[in-house]
């Protein structure tokens, strides 16, 4: 909010000087506010890498990530994470106006059979510390982010709202045990529907199980979870509450955070 100042008669002689000296301050404040709003946009979206353009060259489609998914960057709490590679990669980041820097990128050490993707993962790890400029075009319905590196290479990324942006606020963290087999259940819209069978598990701060709930049917899907028949899983879930609940939809949106346990069982 802009502050309003009242000038008394004693300051009339200084009005010209005051106007000159206040203009840079106002411009600086406006630039800082613009930068802050843009960084808010940076953190409000997941950024899928769409194309890579070497200096002076036309953009080329970016390599696909693991299982054909896009390679995605996410910025939050001065940390940038890269998903979709063979390994999860994290590093620190800092912005100053249009300048951006990434420091100490590190990743897990899992190997994958896709040698092309492994090679690109190595390139990402080498390139991220050389990023120098960033710019967001927020005029479209889905904003785009451009990262420019020291050698002139550019990454063009498409923004998708994070769950926090879509649903507002931080999620509730819950744990669900998923039974090995789906079961027939009554669904108002889908005949012969097969539900997941789940029960909630509670852990204490030391990771010890303190309570196990009753089994029940789970209508719908857990985002990011692909159930395989015959496998019992315990899932860590980020649960978001919808502000405006669509007709015939749950007020909750559950998104898989990680698989805590996985066990192959005998199929009947």
- The more confident residue out of 158 and 139 is 158
Q: Domain range holding 251? A: 167-264
Give residue-wise pLDDT tens across range 56-72: 899 999 989 888 889 99
Residue 77 lies in a domain: yes
Tokens of 74: 């996410």
Same domain? 54 vs 128: yes
State the Cα–Cα distance between residues 251 and 268, nearest whole angstrom. 34
pLDDT band for position 24 (cuts 50, 70, 90): very low
Same domain? 140 vs 239: no
pLDDT band for position 29 (cuts 50, 70, 90): very low
How confident is the model over 10-32, as a mean pLDDT? 37
Same domain? 157 vs 173: no
Tokens of 33: 């506010």
> 32 pLDDT exceeds 50?
no
Residue 8 lies in a domain: no
Residue 6 lies in a domain: no
Share above pLDDT 70 across residues of the chain, in percent, rounded to a whole number: 85
Q: How far is CA 168 from CA 43, 73, 242, 258, in A?
A: 13, 20, 8, 21
Q: What is the pLDDT of residue 37?
A: 57
Give residue-wise pLDDT tens across range 187-216: 777 888 899 999 999 999 888 889 999 999
> What count of residues does the chain have?
268
**Beta strand segments in 34-143, E:** 45-53, 60-61, 72-76, 79-83, 89-96, 99-107, 131-137
Specify the DSSP class assigned to residue 128: G
Q: What is the pLDDT of residue 243?
A: 81
Same domain? 135 vs 178: no
Residue 92 belongs to domain with CATH number: 2.40.128.270
Same domain? 197 vs 154: no
Same domain? 184 vs 130: no
Burial of residue 129, with CB atoms counted within 10 A of its CB: 0-12 exposed, 13-18 middle, 19 or more buried: middle
Residue with the two structure tokens 């009242």: 6
Residue 224 lies in a domain: yes
Which pairing describes strands 89-96 and 99-107: parallel, antiparallel, or unpaired?
A: antiparallel
pTM: 0.72
Same domain? 57 vs 149: yes
Residue 211 lies in a domain: yes
Q: What is the pLDDT of residue 202?
A: 95
What's the mean per-residue pLDDT of the chain?
A: 83
Contact 8, 18 (CB under 8 A): no
Q: What is the pLDDT of residue 112?
A: 84
How confident is the model over 141-169, as a mean pLDDT? 92
Residue 9 lies in a domain: no
How confident is the model over 1-21, as a mean pLDDT? 34
> 227 pLDDT exceeds 80?
yes
Dihedrals phi, psi of 223, to nearest 5 degrees: -60, 130
Residue 32 lies in a domain: no
Same domain? 64 vs 156: yes
Same domain? 91 vs 136: yes
Q: What is the pLDDT of residue 108?
A: 86
Domain boundary residue among 161, 187, 222?
A: 161
Q: How many domains does the chain have?
A: 2
> 6 pLDDT exceeds 70?
no
- The more confident residue out of 14 and 63 is 63
**C-alpha R_g of the chain:** 25
Same domain? 95 vs 116: yes
Domain boundary residue among 123, 141, 161?
A: 161
Dihedrals phi, psi of 206, to nearest 5 degrees: -95, 5
Give the count of beta carbons closer than 10 Å to the beta carbon of residue 175: 19
């Amino acid at each position: 909010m802009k502050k309003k100042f009242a000038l008394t008669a004693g300051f009339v002689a200084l009005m010209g000087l005051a106007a000159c000296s206040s203009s840079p301050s106002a411009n600086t404040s406006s630039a800082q506010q613009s930068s802050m709003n843009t960084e808010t946009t940076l953190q409000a979206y997941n950024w899928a890498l769409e194309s890579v353009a070497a200096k002076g060259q036309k953009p080329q489609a970016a390599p696909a990530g693991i299982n054909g998914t896009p390679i995605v960057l996410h910025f939050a709490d001065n940390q940038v994470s890269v998903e979709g590679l063979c390994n999860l990669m994290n590093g620190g980041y800092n912005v100053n106006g249009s300048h951006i820097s990434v420091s100490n990128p590190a990743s897990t050490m899992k190997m994958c059979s896709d040698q092309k993707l492994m090679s690109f993962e190595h390139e990402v790890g080498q390139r991220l510390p050389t990023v120098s400029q960033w710019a967001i075009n927020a005029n479209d319905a889905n904003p785009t982010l451009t990262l420019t590196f020291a050698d002139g290479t550019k990454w063009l990324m498409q923004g998708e709202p994070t769950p926090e942006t879509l649903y507002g606020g931080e999620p509730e963290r819950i744990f669900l045990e998923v039974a090995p087999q789906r079961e027939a259940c009554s669904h108002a819209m889908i005949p012969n529907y097969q539900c997941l069978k789940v029960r909630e598990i509670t852990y204490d701060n030391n990771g010890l199980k303190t309570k196990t709930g009753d089994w029940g049917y789970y209508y719908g899907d857990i985002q990011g979870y692909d159930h395989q028949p015959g496998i019992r899983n315990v899932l860590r879930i980020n649960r978001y509450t919808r502000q405006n609940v669509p007709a015939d939809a749950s007020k909750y949106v559950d998104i898989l955070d990680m698989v805590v346990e996985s066990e192959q069982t005998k199929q009947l």
